[in-house]
Chain A
Amino acid sequence: MTTNAYNTSNTIATFNNVVKKYDMDGYAFTAIKNATCTIPKGEITFVYGPSGSGKSTFLNMLGLLDKPSAGEITLLGQNVLAMNDNQAADFRSKHIGFIFQSFNLIPVLSVRENVEFPLLRHPLSRRERKEKAEHYLAAVGLKDYLNRRLNEISGGQRQRVAIARALVTTPTLIIADEPTANLDSTTSDEIIHLMLAMQHQFDTSFVICTHNEKLINKSSRLIHIMDGILTDTGERP
């Protein structure tokens, strides 16, 4: 267990002795072991570790997609364990954006419609939705691709769409799970730089999970995971 070096008033999330176990055909597998850490506001945090180390499990719990087997997680001051499915969904729609490794865009929608989509949960008119989507697509450099179908754009551009979609609801936290794993190295660099720029521009907290050490921005905060054991020094590497 490590100590938290950050001021809790400046944190988004706090993990306290969190354990996550899975039952795999009768065999109990512990994916996260007594994790304690904090995620700061308005910064980029890299979660680093090899494949199978428990990074995704950590992000799933942080993103309210999964619940811990033991321990306590506090997100924006709220106890995650007390939330039911609908409350968790409402929380995600207001405060959390996701960027996935495989982009996970809706294939039948255009670039702009994909970005508009999360706004359906927000009380906005169609016009407002459209304007917001266009604003964020312009921010990620896709102003000229608004009405393109997904099969008409590259993988890097699709991930940009996913970034715009994550940003469009102005969440407090964006979780990116291996966002560059399906991209070539040049595009990966572009995407990481874009996320850094977006974090700076919109003052949103990013938690980026990766197993590629080269992508880690040297000035960002780092959480390391190995065999389910999380190391949060509270310092930048």
Chain B
Amino acid sequence: MIGLIALRNLLKNSHRSVITIISIGIGGLAMMLFAGFITSIYFGVQTGLIQDQGQLQIYKQGYLQYGATDPDSYTIDNYQHVTDLLLRDPELQQQIAVITPQISLSGIAGVAATDNSKTFIGRGVDPESADKMRTWDGWHVQVTTPPTGLNKTQPDSAVIGVGMARQLGLCHVLHIANCEDPPRLQSKAISDEQLNVNTLISSEDSAQLNQQRDTENGPQLNLLAASSNGAPNIISVYVNQAQSQAQRSLDNAFIMMNFDLARELLYGEAPRATVMLIQLYHPERVALVKQRIQQLLDANDLPLDVFYFNEVDPSFDRIFNMFNFIFGVVSLFLGMVIIFTITNTINLTIIERVNEIGTIRAMGFRRRFIMQMFMTESALMGLLGAITAVILTLIASYIINHIGITWTPPSNATPIKIHLMIFENFRLILAIMGFLAVLSVIAAIWPTYKASRMNIIAAIHHV
């Protein structure tokens, strides 16, 4: 009957109740939309990173600590052996969608035609595997990463960052939109510190390369890097396209090439790789797979460690934690507004029902019952407000998801469409609904406590 009284009182004061319920609903709507946005970021950004780097990465032990200064000492020495070892395992066979080696390298890149050269940061990838990884969408968030641009091209093809193309004066040749070659490129002085890589190539080779420069293979880049034995080594690649990278510093220096070409530049014929990327079919099983891989590596005395992608690059966690923090702060303030709204409503209700409170107490009901009665009413408002929030969120999210708003996450080079993942994260919706209900109860504690301690006689005779 407490519920019945609560409901009828809400209906009796319908105008006030509706305003309070809508206030709660709008607060809940804001929380749910924000939560949906964060969920979208969580899965969207993660999907983008997994498409590029896989969920798990195997490195030689110590690479993350010391590999930056001494990459050559921290390479995986026989990646094919590791691949075979993992794919022979029946458990892992079912889980691994892609396992592929990758090489990270750096050096100096030069364009013979312009005598222009600069440092580069490169990746050697297996194009087929990398492109397969880029189609992964384990959470169905429809985030797309463009293909590498290396698959089914010549083995010496390369893709560079748009910034890199600009620095090297390749905007025009590569027909890159919104990209201008540097002015007076030909007369640019090369500093003493800067090594002109093109001078290291014999004049005969240079002539031959220049002839090929504007062929269908695209402009030629000569790449100089230190090989594993410390001696400089040079290869030539043909740039077939430029792709924007997320960070400007990377974009200005980025080169992606075939894995074998990178391996040849650094290690000759040795089957070495910097990292092995592993992509799984089912993201929810990543912890189990990681554990199993580490078991196998340890059992075979391989000095390798397996990491989650976000252990290697913590930027994802930082982005997510930042949004979570903002969500927490916003929710806190929304919660305070909701509490004040409900407290005000309950106070008004109590003022109107002083006589009823006195009568009920006179009939022998304890103070606790009075609190229960008004807190039920408050909780009911909270529940109706939460339902209102869900309805409003359904409408708002449908509109937002269908008008095609895009944004570029910090980790992405290309914008992604905002798809608010609200009802995909049902537990969060329930949590917000519960939060609103709890807020409603909390908001009612003080006014109902005061109501329960009213003087019975004064309350009975209150007019």
Q: Look across to chain A and name the residue whose beta carbon is closest to the beta carbon of B7.
A: A108
The reply on B401 being an interface residue by CB < 8 A is no
Q: A104-B359, A108-B12, A120-B1 given as contacts; is B457 within 8 A of A89 (CB)?
A: no
- Chain A 89-125 per-residue mask, 1 if CB under 8 angstroms from chain B, else 0: 1111110101010101011110001001110110000
**Are the CB atoms of A121 and B365 closer together than 8 Å?**
yes
Q: How far is the CA of A104 from the CA of B462 in the complex (A)?
A: 11
**Are the CB atoms of B366 and A86 closer together than 8 Å?**
yes
A-side contacts of B356, CB under 8 Å: 104, 106-107
Q: Count the A residues whose beta carbon is within 8 Å of the partner chain — how many?
A: 29
**Are the CB atoms of A116 and B1 closer together than 8 Å?**
yes
B-side contacts of A94, CB under 8 Å: 364
Q: Look across to chain A and name the residue whose beta carbon is closest to the beta carbon of B2.
A: A120
Contact of A85 among B9, B12, B360, B367 (CB under 8 A): B367
Q: How far is the CA of A112 from the CA of B460 in the complex (A)?
A: 21
A-side contacts of B175, CB under 8 Å: none
The reply on B177 being an interface residue by CB < 8 A is no
A-side contacts of B417, CB under 8 Å: none
**Are the CB atoms of A92 and B8 closer together than 8 Å?**
no
B-side contacts of A98, CB under 8 Å: 359, 362-363
Contact of B8 among A66, A89, A102, A108 (CB under 8 A): A108
The reply on B213 being an interface residue by CB < 8 A is no
Contact of A60 among B2, B355, B359, B457 (CB under 8 A): B457
Q: How far is the CA of A113 from the CA of B9 in the complex (A)?
A: 14
The reply on A63 being an interface residue by CB < 8 A is yes
The reply on A197 being an interface residue by CB < 8 A is no
**Are the CB atoms of B355 and A92 closer together than 8 Å?**
no
The reply on B5 being an interface residue by CB < 8 A is yes
The reply on B270 being an interface residue by CB < 8 A is no
**Are the CB atoms of A65 and B362 closer together than 8 Å?**
yes
- Chain B 9-21 per-residue mask, 1 if CB under 8 angstroms from chain A, else 0: 1001000000000
Sample 20 A-B pairs with CB under 8 A, ordered by A number: A60-B457, A65-B362, A65-B457, A66-B457, A86-B367, A89-B366, A92-B364, A93-B364, A98-B362, A98-B363, A100-B460, A102-B355, A104-B358, A104-B460, A107-B12, A108-B8, A108-B12, A109-B1, A109-B5, A121-B365
Report, nearest first, the 8 A-B pairs whose CB atoms are least far apart: A93-B364, A108-B8, A92-B364, A104-B359, A89-B366, A118-B363, A65-B456, A98-B362
List residues of chain B with CB under 8 Å of any chain A CB.
1-2, 4-5, 8-9, 12, 355-356, 358-367, 456-457, 460
Beyond the given pairs A63-B362, A65-B457, 20 more chain A to chain B contacts, judged by CB atoms under 8 angstroms and listed by A's residue number, are A65-B460, A66-B457, A89-B361, A89-B366, A89-B367, A93-B365, A94-B364, A100-B359, A104-B355, A104-B359, A106-B5, A106-B356, A106-B360, A108-B5, A108-B9, A109-B1, A109-B8, A117-B1, A121-B365, A165-B363
